[in-house]
Amino acid sequence: MSIQFDYIFSNEHINFLITYSFDFQIDEMLSYYISFLRAISGKLNKNTISLLVTTKNDEVISFPLYVEALKFAFHEDSMIRVAIRTLTLNVYHVGDESVNRFVSRVPLSDYFSDMVKHFQKQCIDLDKLVVRSARNAEPVLMASIEDAIVQIEDALYYFSDVMSSGIPDLGNFITENILQLLVFRIVLPSLQRQRTDLWISVSTSMYLLCCILHIFKDKDMASTVAAALFHQPDCPDRKQGTPNGCTSEHDHGISENQVSNTSAEDQSKADKPTSSSSAHLQCLPDHPSASDFCQGNTLRGTLAIIYHRWGWFPSFGFFVLICYIIADKRT
């Protein structure tokens, strides 16, 4: 069987069929075509993938299977979208360095920015459904919310799979886009009660933040989100800190005894956010980068710093911190 596959793959028959102009107005034709592409991707390994690409100076310049598949990445049929995602993961998991560089270059890398933008739209659409359901919880509307949640979580699991596929450039690209287009753009401003052009409700933001911290297995992502949420502007430069990049709670003059011995009076005062703490929540930059936040703090150190500043946690901060603890244990 291996000989037959090698023969078919090595004589451009597969690429001819992949690039042939079929009439996709016929639904059955498109279904068969997508199934064909996915089946081919399931046979890929470091030997067969080299038979489906065109190279020049050891660099891939053409890969019809991948390029043609991406044309259907945002098809209205969810089964087709799932098939294309499966195909892309099959390509990434082969581990061919030249192919990895090819898919990480523009314009093919635009696929991931488009995916995150599409995901952002899905999140906004979910929020619209949630707001409507608060006024009228019709069964049809609730079913739409459940379907939207499934699609959002599927997308996050796909992003997570890509990030763990062994292609650092793609992982970094997805992380940066998720942070810039979703977390910093709409989620955190919503939690901080900042009205933006893409504002969503607090409940939707909490749900999205919880999903991100739960599904993504990237500790840097969790640390960056936590740092952005609690925003530590006086965090020292990593080069001037301790070996892990940040100072400990003792460097801020806070000990465990001091934390545990705080008076009940201080705690009762802290239950009501002061004007200074409210102002502190508003100081998140519009478009910060991941490097703007201190990463590497131990969880105990983060807790001590937050306690020192706020006295106790605002409700949303405490909830998200629980999510962060879960993510920290998972990673």
- Residue ranges of domains in the chain: 1-107, 109-217, 228-330
Average pLDDT over the chain, rounded to an integer: 75
Q: How far is CA 91 from CA 40, 42, 71, 84, 294, in A?
A: 10, 9, 16, 11, 35
> How many residues does this entry show for the chain?
331
For 128-186, write each residue's pLDDT tens digit.
998 888 888 788 888 999 999 999 999 999 999 999 998 999 989 999 999 999 988 88
For 266, other C-beta atoms within 10 Å of its C-beta total 10
Q: Are 111 and 158 in contact (CB under 8 A)?
A: no
Structure confidence at residue 39 (pLDDT): 94
Structure confidence at residue 82 (pLDDT): 95
DSSP-derived secondary structure letter, 55: E
From 247, 79, 93, select the one nearest 166 (Cα to Cα): 93
Q: Are 53 and 64 in contact (CB under 8 A)?
A: no
Which has more confidence, 89 or 301? 89
Q: Are 71 and 111 in contact (CB under 8 A)?
A: no
User: Residue for token digits 């703090």?
Assistant: 297
- SS3 (DSSP) at 208: helix
Structure confidence at residue 62 (pLDDT): 94
Q: Are 225 and 293 in contact (CB under 8 A)?
A: no
Structure confidence at residue 118 (pLDDT): 94
From 50, 44, 73, select the one nearest 63 (Cα to Cα): 50
User: Residue for token digits 């939207």?
Assistant: 148
Q: What pTM value is reported for the model?
A: 0.71
Confidence tier at 86 by pLDDT (50, 70, 90): very high
User: Residue for token digits 């801020």?
Assistant: 252
For 24-39, write each residue's pLDDT tens digit.
988 799 999 999 999 9
Which has more confidence, 225 or 207? 207
- Asked if residue 301 has pLDDT above 60, the reply is no
Q: Are 238 and 294 in contact (CB under 8 A)?
A: yes
Query: Cα(229)–Cα(314) distance, rounded to whole angstroms?
Result: 11
Q: Are 122 and 151 in contact (CB under 8 A)?
A: yes
Which has more confidence, 201 or 1? 201
- Asked if residue 64 has pLDDT above 90, the reply is yes
Average pLDDT over residues 284-299: 41
Query: Cα(174)–Cα(182) distance, rounded to whole angstroms?
Result: 11
User: Residue for token digits 């739209």?
Assistant: 121
Q: How far is CA 156 from CA 150, 152, 314, in A?
A: 10, 6, 27
For 217, other C-beta atoms within 10 Å of its C-beta total 14
Query: Cα(69)–Cα(310) distance, rounded to whole angstroms?
Result: 51
Which has more confidence, 304 or 210? 210
- Asked if residue 99 has pLDDT above 50, the reply is yes
Query: Cα(275)–Cα(122) distance, rounded to whole angstroms?
Result: 35
Structure confidence at residue 33 (pLDDT): 96
Structure confidence at residue 13 (pLDDT): 84
DSSP-derived secondary structure letter, 154: H
